[in-house]
Amino acid sequence: MNSSIKQWLFVGVFGLFVTACDNRLNVEPTQSIEQSQALNTEQDVQITLTGAYDGLSDVNLYGGGIQYIGDLTGDNRDVVFAGTYATIDEIWRKTVTTSNTVTRDFWLDGYNAINRTNSVLSALTKVSEANRGSIEGQALFIRGALYFELVKAFSKSWNDGTPTANPGVPLVLTPTTSVTDADYRARNTVAEVYTQVLNDLTKAESLLPATQSGGNGFATKGAAAAILARVYLQQQNFAAARDAANRVITSGTYSLVSDFADVFKDATNASEIIFKIIVTDQDGANDLNTFYASSLNQGRGDVRVQTKFRQLYATGDVRGTFFNTAGQNTFTSKFNDQYGDVPVVRLAEMYLVRAETNLRLNTAVGATPLADVNLIRNRAKATALTTVDLAAILLERRLELAFEGQQLADIKRTAGTVGTVAYNANNLVLPIPQREIDTNKNLVQNPGYN
């Protein structure tokens, strides 16, 4: 992390305390916070945790950026990006420059939110025993999820070369309270980052409750298990991915909504959404609406769905009609609500993870692969399959999870291609932002960007 990152981290965390506590308005300007001054009470820790959630919901993270970066990088003209943002156009064209501000802010805001979780984890002794487990679990969930997203985007995939040698991203596990030479971290290996992610999420699952009073906008046991299922699947640890997905499904906490369209309506989707980013007209932003929705639905109309993708849906599949037209262009209807919450992970994905991993392992934990796939297809009014193979399951993922951020991850873990571009091509890995390289000489740039 460079000095510019740290300044933002300090200002961001400092601002949380200044705005949240009336008795702290008279303070000296500073770039850093002494831990002993910043986190004296359980309320301070809770405020900082709230700040970590706020960071996680940033438009460059789960407020939309992580999702559209994954989908546009993995797109082979299933959509056309027709917007005026050159930075996002670079992502769609796979010509990202080291000065791209969208990818820069993904890195910056990710580490900002991670720093807040580190502050929470460093001050758990200030938290009552009754609340400590939940607060620790929530902080670990946020940190683990963000490191997973960072290592996927800025590093080679797990199945590309040697994870124990490939450079991942720097692991920072303690609060940054001052800038010294020790803060200029080198990149940990991909394997080291994945180990930390698994440690964080596994402990989070053990600590978190099944439900939170604030709803599924807050980390729960099921949310941690669902992200674990994604991590294990990316590592091709199929048994662990299967079992994590099965824990979510069999917990009894979640259920599929009966109407596919209702999945994307806040008033009706609570039972299916495992974790989401909460958006209201007072707080939060939905950048999936900004870029994917038409102007008729308060969006910019930048991401236009092409006929070649829509034709993948069979006649009768309601997902194949879940689009809307403005002028001559077609848009997904998943993000029509400007103030709609942003789904991060939902139950349908867990059924598809369980189906794929059971098939790969020739097992039937929880249900057969055919039963799980047909459960999803039946909800979509698609014709039930009589047999299922890996290709059918991967297609079902593409049809069900389109525009939700899983496109590139699926291509990479299955060693596929983006058109004619191989999964392990240099331009399918984001460059380390140039401002980080310039400041921190311990960072090594990704191949193809030197």
Domains of the chain are 1-203+416-445 (1.25.40.390), 209-414 (1.25.40.390)
Contact between 234 and 158 under an 8 Å Cβ cutoff? The reply is yes
CA pair distance 307, 94, nearest whole angstrom: 22
Q: What are phi and psi of 274, to 5 degrees?
A: -85, -40
Residue with tokens 């009768």: 316
Q: DSSP code of 339? A: T
CB-CB contact of 413 with 421 (8 Å): no
Q: pLDDT of 114-163, one tens digit each?
A: 999 999 999 999 999 999 999 999 999 999 999 999 999 999 999 999 99
Q: Could you tell me what percent of the chain has a pLDDT over 90?
A: 88
pLDDT of 17 higher than 90: no
- Residue whose C-alpha is closest to residue 39's, from 125, 136, 141: 125
Q: What are the strands, taking DSSP E only, across 227-322?
A: 273-277, 303-305
d(CA 321, CA 362): 34
Query: Which residue from 146, 104, 122, 145 is spatially nearest to 45, judged by alpha carbons?
Result: 122
Listing DSSP states for 65-95 in one string gives: HHHHHHHHHT-SSSEEE--S-HHHHHHHHT-
pLDDT digits (tens, 9 = 90+) for 188-230: 999 999 999 999 999 999 999 999 998 999 999 999 999 999 9
Residues 6+ positions from 195 with CB-CB distance below 8 Å: none
Question: How does pLDDT run across 303-321, given as a tens digit for each residue?
Answer: 999 999 999 999 999 999 9
The pTM for the full model equals: 0.93
Average pLDDT of the chain?
Answer: 92
CB proximity list for 301: less than 8 A, separation 6 or greater: 82, 293, 294, 295, 326, 329, 331
Q: Of 24, 36, 197, whose CA–CA distance to 110 is shortest?
A: 197
Among positive and negative, which fits the CA dihedral 11, 15, 17, 18?
Answer: positive
Name the more confident of 13 and 263: 263
Do the Cβ atoms of 358 and 365 come closer than 8 Å?
A: yes
From CA 446, how far away is CA 450, in angstroms rounded? 7
Give the pLDDT confidence of 155-195 residue by residue, as tens digits: 999 999 999 999 999 999 999 877 677 778 999 999 999 99
The answer to whether 94 and 137 have CB atoms below 8 angstroms apart is: no
Helix (H) or strand (E) holding 252: none
